[in-house]
Structure 1
Amino acid sequence: MSKMRGYIFEIHLLRAIACLLVLLVHVSGAHYYEHGEQYNELTQFINQFSRFGTPVFALISGFLLCYQTRFKGFNLNRFITSRFTKIGLPFLFWSIFYLLFMFFVQGTNPFDSGLKEFLMNFSFGNSFYHLYFMSIVFQFYLLFPVLQLFHSKKSWTTLLVLAVFVNIYSLTLFTPGQFEGTLGQILSQRAYLPSWIFFFIFGGFLAYFWETLLAFSKKHKNILGVAVLFITVAAVWEYKTLGSVPSNRVTNMINIPIITLFIMGVGETVTKVKWLYRPLTKIGTLSMAIYLIHPFILFCFQAVAPKVFWKTSMFPITFTIILLGTILTVKLIQLIPFNHYILTVPKIKKANDSKEIQSYKDMSPYQGKRKEIIYQK
C-alpha cells in the first residue's frame, strides 16, 4: 500500500474552487434580487454553472474521512470528538448567530411556528439559507461508522453503484408528500441525505482509488478538459430548457466526477503558476470558514452598497469585495481565543523536523514544486 500523503494539493484545489463557486451562486443571487428578481444572460449563467460547487464540497467531505481511515483506521471515540469539534460546534454557533442576526435586523422570530417547527428547521440547517449543507454532512457522519464495514476497492465500487440508484430514486421517483406529520417534513427537507448520497460515496470511492484516478486524470487531462467544455454547454441547455436546476440534479452524477478528475489532472500545472497557486491555497485553507461567514458579509453589503455595485459590469468587483471582506472577517475572528470552536480552518505549519520535510517531499508528485508544509492533525 502506498504512503498516505499529508497534504494533497488536488483536494485543496477542489476545496478552493468549490468555495468560489458557492460564493458565485450567492452573489449572482443577490444580483437577481437587486434587479427585481430577474437574471440577465450573464448572471443566470454564473448562478447556474456555479451550482457545481456544493456537490464538490460533499465529495470532499467523503474523501477526507475515507482517505484518513483507509490508512489510519477508524476510532469511533476520536471520530465523534473530532467531528463535533470541527463541524458540530461551528454549526451550532452559526445557526444561533444567524437566528439572532435576523431577529434583531428584520424582527424574524424563529419560534413563531412553535417549538417543534423550530427544532426541525434548526436541525436541518434552515436557520439560514446555506446551513442546510452542514446538516447533510452531519447525516453522512451518522452513516459513516457503518461504512467502516467496507474496506476494499470492490466493495466501494458496489457502494458507488448503489448510491447512484438511491440518489436517482430519491430525486425522481420518491414522493415525500405521501407521508404526513413529522416524517413527511423530514423526508421533504432540502437536507435529505439520500438526495445527496452519491457525492459523498463518490468521495469515498475516490479515496480508495486515489492513486489510480490521479494518474488517469493527469494522463488524460486534455480529454477531460474537452469533456468539461461539453458539460458547460450542456448545463446552459439544461437550465434554458428546464429552468433553474438544483445542485444535486441527476446530471451532476456525471458532471461532478468529470469536473473532479479534470481539476485533479491540472493540479500540477496550477502549482507552477504562482498568481493562481498562492490565492487558491489560501482560499482552500479557509474554505469552510468562508462558507459559514460569507452570507453575513453579503447581507451587510447589500444593505449599504450603492446601486452602482449591482450593475452587471461591476460583478467582478462586487464579488471580490465579498470574498475579501469575508476573508478579513475570518482573520479577525481567528484573533479571538478558542476561535477553532466556531470556525473550521485546517492548520498548516512549516515542517521543522528534517524527516517530516523529506517525508513530504517523497509523497509530493510535484518534484519541481515541493512545499515544506504539512497538515497539523
Structure 2
Amino acid sequence: MSEVRPSIFYIDLLRFIAAIAVVVIHVLGPFRFLYGDISDSDWLAAMGYNSISRWAVPVFMMISGALLISDHKPFDCQRYLTRRLGKVVIPFVAWTLIYAFVGGFEGYSWSEAATVKLLLESTNEPVWYHLWFFYDFIPLYFVIPLLALVLYQMRSEHVKLLLSAWGLLTLMHLLKVETPLRQNIVLYSGYLVLGWYLFNRDNRPELKYWVVAGVVCLLLNAFGSAYLSFTDGKYRAFFMGYKSLNTVLIAGMLFVLAQCYAERIQGRLRDVVSIVSRYSLGIYLVHPLLLIPVRKLENGVYDFFGSNWLAIPLISLLVLIVALLVTMILAKLPFARRLVP
C-alpha cells in the first residue's frame, strides 16, 4: 500500500500475500472470540488461520520503508505532502465518510445521529475496524524522510545495532515490560527500517536463519495460542501482536523468502500477483463492505461449507475476487479513482 513505481516483482508478491492475509483475518474475525460457543474444530480453524496471518500489516509497513526510504530523489516537502502523503490521506478521509454513512444504518433505516456520532468519535477511534491502520500508518509518513536522512549517514553496523535495539523493544512489548518507548510510532517505525535494510542488501546468506526463526514463531503462534486459550478457557492473543518480536521474525522471513524466490513465479500466476498487488490498497479499503452481508448471514454462509477449515479460505477467496473487481471498476471512474490509488 505504497506509491506506485516501477514494479519490483518480489514486492508485488509481498503485497499479494499480505492482501490475502488481511482478508482472511477479517473473514475469520468473529469466530476468534467464540471459544466454547462453537465446536472446537471450527474455533481452532479460526484461531489457526489467524495465528499464521498476523504478519500482514507489518509486511505492508516494511514495503513502505523499503520503497520510500530508498527513494533517492531530492526531498521536496510540498511534493511529498501533496503526492505521497496525499495518496494515503485522501482515501482515508473519503472512506471514513463512506463507512460512517454505512455505520449509520440500523436495520433498514439510516440514522443521521449515528453517523454524526461515528464521525465525531473518529478523531480517536476509526469508524470501521480496518481503518485503524491509517491512524498508525499516516504518522509514519512524517517519520520516513527523517529516517532516510539519518539512515544514509549511518554505517551498516550502526543500522544493525539500531535494529537489534528495536528487536529488544518488540520483545519487551511482547512480555509487557513497561517502558516509555513502547509507543506505536516507535514500534512501527522499526518495520520501516527493517524493510529498507532488507531491501538494500543480499539476504541469501542469512535465509536459513530467517526461515528457522520464522517457522518457529509461526508454530509458537499457533500452538502457543491454542494452549493458552485451552488453559484459560477463552481466546488468548498473547502471541498475535503486530508489534511483538515473533511477528517481526515472521514478517522478516517472508520478506527474505520473497526476495530470494519470487522470480520463480512465471506465467499467468505472475500476472495475477501483479494485478492484486496493484490494487491492494483498494482491496483493503473495499472488502469490509462485502463482509457486511456475510456477517449478517453468518451461520448460513459459513455453515454452507460444513467446516470453518473450508469456509474461511473459500469465503476469503470470494471476497478477495469481488473486492478486486470493485476496486478495478472504481479505478476507472474519474470521480472515484482517487479513492483506490
TM-score, normalised relative to structure 1 = 0.73
CA distance in 1, matches of 2:66, 2:159: 12
Residue number among 257, 264, 281 corresponding to 2:259 in the alignment: 264
Q: 8 Å contact 1:27–1:319 — kept in the other structure? A: yes
Aligned-residue offset at 1:168 = 4.6
Match of 1:92 in 2: 93
- Provide, for residues 113-163 of structure 1, a one-character-per-residue CA deviation record: whole Å limited to 9, x for no partner: 994x44222xxxx11111111121111112223223311452543442343
Match of 1:205 in 2: 197
CA distance in 1, matches of 2:331, 2:185: 31
Aligned-residue offset at 1:31 = 4.8
Match of 2:148 in 1: 148
User: Are 1:194 and 2:186 counterparts?
Assistant: yes
Compared CA separation, residues 325 and 34, structure 1 to 2 (3 A) = farther
CA distance in 2, matches of 1:230, 1:72: 40
Amino acid of the residue matched to residue 331 of structure 2?
Q
- Provide, for residues 184-204 of structure 1, a one-character-per-residue CA deviation record: whole Å limited to 9, x for no partner: xxx99xx93234232122122
Match of 2:328 in 1: 331
Match of 1:235 in 2: 221
Amino acid of the residue matched to residue 253 of structure 2?
I
Match of 2:164 in 1: 161
CA distance in 2, matches of 1:254, 1:140: 21
Secondary structure, in 3 states, of the residue corresponding to 2:244? coil
Compared CA separation, residues 305 and 164, structure 1 to 2 (3 A) = closer
CA distance in 2, matches of 1:99, 1:175: 35
Q: 8 Å contact 2:94–2:339 — kept in the other structure? A: yes
Moved more, 239-248 or 306-315: 306-315
Q: 8 Å contact 1:98–1:127 — kept in the other structure? A: yes
Alignment of 1:332-351 (within 5 A): 332-344=329-341
Aligned-residue offset at 1:308 = 4.6
Match of 2:64 in 1: 61
CA distance in 1, matches of 2:75, 2:97: 32
Match of 2:178 in 1: 174
CA distance in 2, matches of 1:307, 1:34: 17
Over the residues paired in the alignment, what is the CA RMSD in angstroms?
Answer: 3.1
CA distance in 1, matches of 2:192, 2:45: 31
Secondary structure, in 3 states, of the residue corresponding to 2:69? helix
Compared CA separation, residues 230 and 36, structure 1 to 2 (3 A) = closer
Compared CA separation, residues 164 and 302, structure 1 to 2 (3 A) = same
Amino acid of the residue matched to residue 311 of structure 2?
M
Amino acid of the residue matched to residue 81 of structure 2?
I
Moved more, 284-293 or 165-174: 165-174
Compared CA separation, residues 301 and 338, structure 1 to 2 (3 A) = same
Match of 1:369 in 2: none
CA distance in 2, matches of 1:113, 1:93: 14
Compared CA separation, residues 292 and 118, structure 1 to 2 (3 A) = closer
Match of 2:128 in 1: 128
TM-score, normalised relative to structure 2 = 0.80
CA distance in 2, matches of 1:114, 1:303: 23
CA distance in 2, matches of 1:147, 1:136: 16
- Provide, for residues 235-276 of structure 1, a one-character-per-residue CA deviation record: whole Å limited to 9, x for no partner: 222312442222322322222212221222111212x3x343
Q: 8 Å contact 1:24–1:319 — kept in the other structure? A: yes
Alignment of 1:98-113 (within 5 A): 98-105=99-106, 107=111, 109=114, 111-112=116-117
Aligned-residue offset at 1:224 = 5.1
Q: 8 Å contact 1:220–1:265 — kept in the other structure? A: no
Give the unaligned 5+ runs of structure 1: 177-186, 345-377
Compared CA separation, residues 48 and 144, structure 1 to 2 (3 A) = same
Q: 8 Å contact 1:45–1:236 — kept in the other structure? A: yes
Moved more, 274-283 or 163-172: 163-172
Moved more, 222-231 or 244-253: 222-231
Residue number among 35, 50, 60 corresponding to 1:47 in the alignment: 50
CA distance in 2, matches of 1:175, 1:223: 29
Secondary structure, in 3 states, of the residue corresponding to 1:50? coil
Give the unaligned 5+ runs of structure 2: 229-235
CA distance in 1, matches of 2:33, 2:122: 27
CA distance in 2, matches of 1:74, 1:163: 26
Amino acid of the residue matched to residue 238 of structure 1?
G
- Provide, for residues 79-99 of structure 1, a one-character-per-residue CA deviation record: whole Å limited to 9, x for no partner: 111123310100000111111
Match of 1:288 in 2: 281
Amino acid of the residue matched to residue 321 of structure 2?
L
Secondary structure, in 3 states, of the residue corresponding to 1:40? helix
Amino acid of the residue matched to residue 132 of structure 2?
Y
CA distance in 1, matches of 2:163, 2:208: 26
CA distance in 1, matches of 2:106, 2:317: 25
Amino acid of the residue matched to residue 149 of structure 2?
L
Amino acid of the residue matched to residue 332 of structure 2?
L
